[in-house]
Structure 1
Amino acid sequence: MERPELWEWLSKEVMGEKGVVMLIGAPDTGKTTLCHFLISQALRQGIRTAYVDGDIGQSVIGPPTTLGMALLEEPPEDFSHLPWDLLYFIGSSSPARHLLPVAVGLKRLVDKAKEKGAELIVVDTTGLVAGEVGFELKFYKMELLRPQALIALQRQDELEHILKGCRGREGVSLYVLPPSEGVVPRSPERRREYRQRRFEEYFKGGRKVEVDVERTVVIDPAFPLLKLGEDGGRLVGRLLGLNDGQFFTLGLGIWEGIDEGKAYIYTPLEETEAVRFLQLGHITLRRG
């Protein structure tokens, strides 16, 4: 994809402000590519930069269904498989029914990036911008993150219902840009294939592990009042996050069963000693 002169100008503006930079736009507008460009430019200038990936369906940091944060030291040669510093499990590939977890997770990752000394934090987001749901997700995400710069990639006026609450706001610079002409649209099928491939890559080489449910807390957001052991068969195949004591995600797993106080989980995570929460997701995966 070409790097228009407008991007060069934008990168200088962003690097001058530093702080949190949030990108929004409909699908196939080039948000992620612009994120990568801004990050690379900042790193070449010696700016300590964090990348927060909020696209739970087409993630590049961590597997799908997770939010990810990577603190970078130099421009990556390949952004497609970045090692992560932190993950936050959402458990779905769409934010539509999980607005609060997505907003909270992004806030926690941005706060951690600040704690770790990031001068510039670039936040990528999903393409969900339409209607009331898109407004609530993006507008209140901005309220939580309080970005110094908001970059909106807009074809016509599809973001105006969101942007009208940002124009003239104190403390935030708003940049409205057209999408790059080099964007290649991805069909829903291609997006599904991407998620499937990422899951396969992540779980390759996994193994079945035992987790003592006496020392962990099992959280099922879909059935929060149902006790563990009641209708246990419904959990088989459910994707889950293996979370630490701060509720950040150490790895993903697939629930395979429970017996005599032991949960059996298929996961590539090598060490489960630090796992304190088993957070069940909203999708089922077939292993193999």
Structure 2
Amino acid sequence: MTTATSRHSDRRISPVFLGIAAVTAVAAWAVWTDFAADVRIAVFLFVTGAWVVSLCLHEYAHARTALHGGDITIGAKGYLTLNPLKYTHGMLSIVLPVIFVIMGGIGLPGGAVFIERNRIQGRWKHSLISAAGPLTNVLFAIVCTAPFWFDGLSGMPDGFRYALGFLALLQVTAAILNFLPVPGLDGYGVIEPWLSYRIRRQVEPYAPFGLLAVFVIILIPGVNAVFFDAIDAILGGLGVSNLDTYCGRNLFTFWESRNEFVCGPAGL
């Protein structure tokens, strides 16, 4: 009886996550109805809240897949509660990604939950655990862009459309960056089980610096241009235009002076 009760509490959704989801929902309503005195603040709260929710779901996907793969310690660590405060690298998983969204509009990958890999047998299981996180970002991007595919934009307020476009940009960048086969990122975790023991030992010391190296490389102007051209092409294929993402970021960064460019007929 005690074990069943403990297991239930290990999987109960955290009030912290529910609070973040509630703020996101209220902000989304404020953007949709134009209730806020300044729609830009509502867009900021909506996008930031939705981004944190996606980060929590990203880590939850890793944890849930690991649980089914054989790591029964996942529940006791609090990873199944969606509480961002329970993740082993709260700074990497939540704080830094939010800061980078605020600074430059890049969906920075977060740190993974701590998984006891020795409990999991089979290379496919290990690869799936690593892939589960960025696949969540892919799913989130599909949800954000669905209205752009099916002509669901008719009647949608401009501010909400632009917010969805910018949020889709964040999800696509997060998915692509996470899938890079760089030590320390999920993409490397997907291929690592298939590498020889010698190669894994040689690469292991560089894992803590993988994310930093990717970020530095992206800052190189030529690489940055190619990267965002690829992002624009993907978003364009999903129906999201440069106008949507540009105006979405302008609304999101409410602390910056208004750009002279007028976004849409509402003159946001």
Same-fold call, TM cutoff 0.5: no
- The structure with the largest helix share of the pair is 2
Pick the TM interval, shorter chain. Answer: under 0.3
